Amino acid sequence: MKQLSVLLVVSVMLAFTSCTNSVSEPGEVDLEAVGQQLQLLHQNTEKIITEADGSELVCPRTINEDGSLRVVPGGDWTSGFYSGTLWYMYEMSGDESWKKKAITYTEMLEKEQYNGSNHDVGFRMYCSYGNALRLTKNEAYIPILVQSAKTLIARYYEEVGCIRSWNFDEQVWQCPVIIDNMMNLELLFWASEQTGNPVYKDIAISHALTTIKHQFRDDYSTVHVVDYDTITGEVRQKNTHQGYADESSWARGQAWGLYGYTMTYRFTKDQRFLEQAEHIADFLLNNPALPEDGIPYWDFNDPGIPEVPRDVSAAAIITSALYELSTFSDEGESYKLAADRILMNTWSLYRSMKGENFGFILDHSVGNMPDGSEIDVPINYADYYFMEALYRSKKF
């Protein structure tokens, strides 16, 4: 770990000579500059929502191939990230105008509390309403979040011990569980603490333990999709959906795993989850395929490395997770140093140019490479986890 930190210091210097955002200067994240980008994103988003009157668009997601801004409806899996980003902007700036915007974009998602079409209700509702409740203490948000948790646990398969992630491709999968699903457990842990009903937490712990058992390889890299038999609970197959290959390590999947087990330890204080998070962190940070600046290629096993895109969204999730892990782990100091380096490099080298990219903060994420969509573009969840990481960098 210490060696890694030294490497990353050197890498910052090397990276400035070689990377994408050549006019950027190294240094601290400039919150005022972030605010200017978000102001632009707000104007562009409002324009599209106004023009598409009645279409239920609620959240800027990315930039389309034709160069236009993509704004998505509440049912999109990413619909909670924009309001979540606005909440962090409000929290860090103290500027009430961000709070007003955050409330507006949060409350546009109210009906998603009943949307059980996939596991993403956790992403949609906890990044939006979860932050809204945390920062406003508005009790009207509590039943909405509790209903969201009920919607999520309706997807739990007792025999399997997991929440089913997806319903599509039913001819291929019976009960597909993706590593991303670890993120949705935060809503469940919160719901048990809020209501005093252990059912949500029990399901979350079962999901996390089953996922340790079946979703990780010996080196603590993670499979993207594990499909279970709904009757027997046996593993039917292990695949990828967004990674390079079934056996490869898709960067954002590793990031979801790291964040998910760190968060699960926060709520449970169960040593097994802390150890899992530490193992995943070590897999990531000591990986020979991790570039010197700490921003991963989209998949650790793409044979085209180094001529393939980075995934800044994975870097942002990893950074935020490492800050939290640093508060729990005996290796905390080295995790924090790594998080500081990646945060600085993300800002210095991969941010959008001022006034560009419709106002998204960061550039250079990959959504779904096998599908050929959202490659090397800004994406809202990169911005959300970057803002969370920035907040945590000051808090922890």
Catalytic residue selected from 53, 66, 120, 363: 120
Q: Which is nearer to ligand GLY, 113 or 165 (CB)?
A: 165
Q: Distance between CA 175 and CA 166 in Å, rounded?
A: 8
Grouping H, G, I as helix, E, B as strand and the rest as coil, residue 59 is strand
Q: Which is nearer to ligand GLY, 49 or 263 (CB)?
A: 263
* Cβ-based neighbours of 306, under 8 Å, separated by 6 or more: 291, 297
Q: At what angle do helices 251-268 and 271-285 cross, to 10 degrees?
A: 150
Q: How far is the CB of 224 from ligand GLY (least distance, A)?
A: 9
Q: Residue 163: in which H helix or E strand, if any?
A: strand 162-163
Which member of 180, 302, 340, 363 binds ligand GLY (CB under 6 A)? Answer: 180
Q: How far is the CB of 180 from ligand GLY (least distance, A)?
A: 4
Maximal C-alpha separation, the chain: 57
Q: How many CA atoms lie within 13 A of 79 on its CB side?
A: 25
Q: Which is nearer to ligand GLY, 241 or 351 (CB)?
A: 241
Which of 242, 204, 248 minimizes the C-alpha distance to 223? 248
Q: How far is the CB of 363 from ligand GLY (least distance, A)?
A: 17
Strand-pairing partners, residue 162, are 157
Per-residue interface string for the shown chain with ligand GLY, residues 72-101, x marking contact by CB under 6 A: -----x------------------------
> How far are the Cα atoms of 266, 322, 341, 396 from residue 328, in angstroms, in the given order?
8, 10, 19, 11
Q: How far is the CB of 379 from ligand GLY (least distance, A)?
A: 9
Q: Is 311 in the site for ligand GLY (CB under 6 A)?
A: no
Q: How far is the CB of 57 from ligand GLY (least distance, A)?
A: 20
Q: Which is nearer to ligand GLY, 291 or 367 (CB)?
A: 367
Query: Residue 133 corresponds to which tokens in the numbers above?
Result: 């409740």
Q: Which is nearer to ligand GLY, 57 or 178 (CB)?
A: 178
Which member of 42, 164, 252, 364 binds ligand GLY (CB under 6 A)? Answer: 252
For tokens 């670890």, the residue is 182
Query: Residue 112 corresponds to which tokens in the numbers above?
Result: 């998603």
Cβ pair 360, 37 in contact under 8 A: yes
Residues in the chain, total? 396
Q: Quote the distance between the C-alpha of residue 41 and its chain's center.
A: 20
Q: Which is nearer to ligand GLY, 180 or 227 (CB)?
A: 180
DSSP classification of residue 353: P
Cβ pair 285, 350 in contact under 8 A: no
Using CB positions, name the residue nearest to ligand GLY. Answer: 180
Pairing of strands 175-178, 162-163: unpaired
Q: Which is nearer to ligand GLY, 92 or 312 (CB)?
A: 312
Q: How far is the CB of 253 from ligand GLY (least distance, A)?
A: 8
How many residues bind ligand GLY (CB under 6 A)? The answer is 4
The one-letter amino acid at 158: E
The one-letter amino acid at 70: R
Per the annotation, the verdict on 120 as an active-site residue is yes
Q: How far is the CB of 280 from ligand GLY (least distance, A)?
A: 16
Per-residue interface string for the shown chain with ligand GLY, residues 230-249, x marking contact by CB under 6 A: ------------x-------
Catalytic residue selected from 53, 66, 95, 180: 180
Per the annotation, the verdict on 180 as an active-site residue is yes
Q: Distance between CA 316 and CA 386 in Å, rounded?
A: 5
Site for ligand GLY in 184-213 (CB under 6 A): none
As annotated, the active-site residues are: 120, 180
Footprint of ligand GLY (CB under 6 A): 77, 180, 242, 252
